[in-house]
Structure 1
Amino acid sequence: MNGQARLAAQSRKWLLEALFKLLKQRDYSAITVKDIAETAQLSRRTFYRAFKNKDELLKYYGEHVMQRYLAALQQHEDINLTFEQVLRVFFNFWWQERQQIKLLIQQNLFISLLPTIVPQSFHLYELFDAPWHIQGTPQEINYIMSFSVAGFWNILNTWLAKEDPEEPAEMVKILLKAIHKLKS
């Protein structure tokens, strides 16, 4: 990455940090591009070089966090992950993002990231040979992935909205227990 690309990436990072800092203080609808740029100690021109508006900045977060989640999954040498292993990766990853996610949930912004994240999620079955979700025709896989992504999304929305969410390991146990009950 050249110097200019590194500077642009750093500016995007600072703008994103500024947005989340402001979300702790006020409602998203009351936050302006000027507010974000000033909090990041950057010019509005710099903001507009990176993003069209604050919604694009929020969308960038969704895309960026999903890319990092996919990278976390790919770090596992064993691409034949069991469902339990996928749950562990899922809950551990999102636990690290809990403060940002909680802010988005509180402001009813988390749901707006779903259209950004869903298309990327559908590439999971191309990356991993996880039999619990990729067996079947393309149409069956599409339905299973839709069901899985929406289910995981709702779990995040419920789990991380709590004042004191359970630890990731506890969430894995809870889901595995629930799935075993469903199978019975």
Structure 2
Amino acid sequence: MTKKNKQSQLSQEWIIEALIQLLKTKNYHDITITDITNKAGVARLTFYRNFKDKDDILLTRSYQLFEAYFEELKANNKLVTIPAALHLSFNYWQRDAETLDLLIKNQLFYLIEQPFYSFLEKIIAENSQLNQLNTIQKSFILGGTTQAMRSWITNGSKDSPTEITETLLKIINLATLSDHS
């Protein structure tokens, strides 16, 4: 990595962290670019070299988190099982619960859903079972999983990632359960 790329990456990290810190004390819509650059200790030009607006900061952060999640799935060869992929996703969300809660409180949850859908497509492409899903099924997984995560975070993430994964898997298995009635 060149010195310029390293500096750009550091600037991005500082700006992302500055916005997250500001969200702890201010409403998202009241935070200005000047607030962010002052908190990050970077010039306004540096901000615009890296991001187009505040949403772009949070989208970039979401994509970075989902990329790390996806790489961990691939490295551990967990793409083959839905339970492992779900469990790992809730582990990631639990680690980031404070920031996710800030996004939810500021009505910015859509900045999680968009990247999640992109990575769902990547996971589906890597998994032969999931590859057979149609658009409706993909939408159900996206909506169900993200809304479950939203509720879980909003309610203080009291259940462990294992418990929440088992709860969701029971719902997915309802058709199988009803066949045994």
What amino acid is the match of 1:57?
Answer: I
Q: Helix, strand or coil for the counterpart of 1:166?
A: coil
Q: Which stretch shows the higher mean deviation, 44-53 or 7-16?
A: 44-53
Distance 1:164 1:117 in 2: 19
How many residues are aligned here? 177
Superposition TM-score, scaled by structure 2 size: 0.87
Structure 2 unaligned residues grouped into runs of 5+: none
Which residue does 1:134 correspond to in 2? 131
Match of 1:167 in 2: 160
Q: Percent identity?
A: 27
CA shift, 1:180, in A, is 4.0
Partner of 1:119: 118
Higher helix share: 2
Structure 1 gap ranges (5+): none
Distance (Å, rounded) in 1 between the aligned partners of 2:10 and 2:102? 22
Q: Is the 8 A contact 1:72 1:93 kept in 2?
A: no
Which residue of the partner structure matches residue 97 of structure 1?
Answer: 96
**Letter paired with 2:22:** L
Shift in CA distance, 25/78, structure 1 to aligned 2, threshold 3 Å: closer
- Equivalent residue, structure 2, for 1:45: 45
After superposition, the Cα gap between the structure-2 partners of 1:105 and 1:165, relative to the gap in structure 1 and judged at 3 Å, is: farther
Q: How does 1:71-110 map to 2 (within 5 A)?
A: 71-77=71-77, 79-81=79-81, 83-110=82-109
Deviation per residue, 1:7-35 (Å, 9 max, x gap):
10011011000000000001000000110
Q: Which amino acid aligns with 1:39?
A: K
RMSD: 1.9
Q: Which amino acid aligns with 2:140?
A: F
Aligned match of 1:153 in 138, 146, 152? 146
Equivalent AA in structure 2 for residue 65 of structure 1: L
Which amino acid in the other structure matches residue 80 of structure 2?
N
Question: Partners in 2 of 1:113 and 1:175 — Cα distance?
Answer: 19
The equivalent residue for 1:57 is: 57
Per mean C-alpha deviation after superposition, the further-off stretch among 83-92 and 10-19 is: 83-92
> Aligned partners of 2:15, 2:29: CA distance in 1, in Å?
17
d(CA) in 2 for partners of 1:111 and 1:9? 24
Quick one: structure 1 residues 39 and 114, their matched pair in 2 at CA, closer, same or farther if it must change by over 3 Å?
Answer: same
Closer/same/farther in 2, CA of residues 102 and 147 from structure 1, 3 Å limit: same
Contact 1:18 / 1:40 at 8 angstroms: preserved in 2? yes
C-alpha distance in 2, partners of 1:85/1:112? Answer: 24
Offset of residue 165 of structure 1: 2.9
- Contact 2:79–2:85, Cα closer than 8 Å, also in 1: no
**Displacement of 1:181:** 4.5
**What's the offset of the Cα at 1:78?**
5.2
TM-superposed deviation, 1:41: 1.2
Query: Normalization by structure 1: what TM-score?
Result: 0.86
Matched AA of 1:155: A
